[in-house]
Amino acid sequence: MKEELIHLAPMLRRFAYSLTGSAHDADDLLQNTLERLLSRDIPADVELAKWAFRVCRNIWIDEYRARKIRQRNAYSLEETEEPLVDGEQAIYDQITLGEVDAAMDKLPDDQRSIMALVALQGMSYTEVAETLGIPAGTVMSRLARARIALANFLNPTSMTSSVKPGA
């Protein structure tokens, strides 16, 4: 299993980066994912790659929710006259990672994770559906909306701009 995880690690890191949008957070997410995979038993009837992507996504969702709660509580506790500055976010805002990366960041989380699994990992719709535990039709509709949204973000004057995402 460890050798399979070594082979999966680069794919998991790309997936983690597509979820987090930050290399630092992606590394942390990858480490947490690998730690969880190594410390727990994997169900016998599950393919390791699919299980690993699902674990990675679930850990990210848990961390994202916890981070939102911590930020909300921190801001409500600290009432200062000076505006709060998030140094990491300020640096990230100054770095241009490219139009596609910016457009991916604008996608809703469910669309971004599906786009990452299909476009970056090369998974089929069926594999994505099994990995995320959702119907294949949901994968196809979310992917279609994500593609339209990306086209609109990248080329606002294109023909697809008349079609609204989610319509």
pLDDT tens readout for residues 64-97: 877 777 777 665 545 544 555 565 555 445 444 5
Distance in angstroms (rounded) separating the CA atoms of residues 161 and 158 = 6
Distance in angstroms (rounded) separating the CA atoms of residues 22 and 16 = 9
The pTM of the whole model exceeds 0.75: no
Domain boundary among 48, 76, 95: 95
pLDDT of residue 167: 46
Distance in angstroms (rounded) separating the CA atoms of residues 108 and 110 = 6
**Are residue 90 and residue 107 in the same domain, yes or no?**
no
Percent composition of the chain: helix, strand, coil (DSSP 3-state, to 5):
75, 0, 25
Structure confidence by residue, pLDDT tens digits, 142-164: 999 998 888 888 777 755 544 55
Domain boundary among 62, 95, 128: 95
**Are residue 112 and residue 152 in the same domain, yes or no?**
yes
Distance in angstroms (rounded) separating the CA atoms of residues 77 and 80 = 9
How many structural domains compose the chain? 2
* Mean pLDDT value of segment 128-132: 90
Residue 157 belongs to a domain with what CATH number? 1.10.10.10
pLDDT of residue 86: 60
Domain coverage including residue 115: 97-167
Distance in angstroms (rounded) separating the CA atoms of residues 159 and 16 = 32
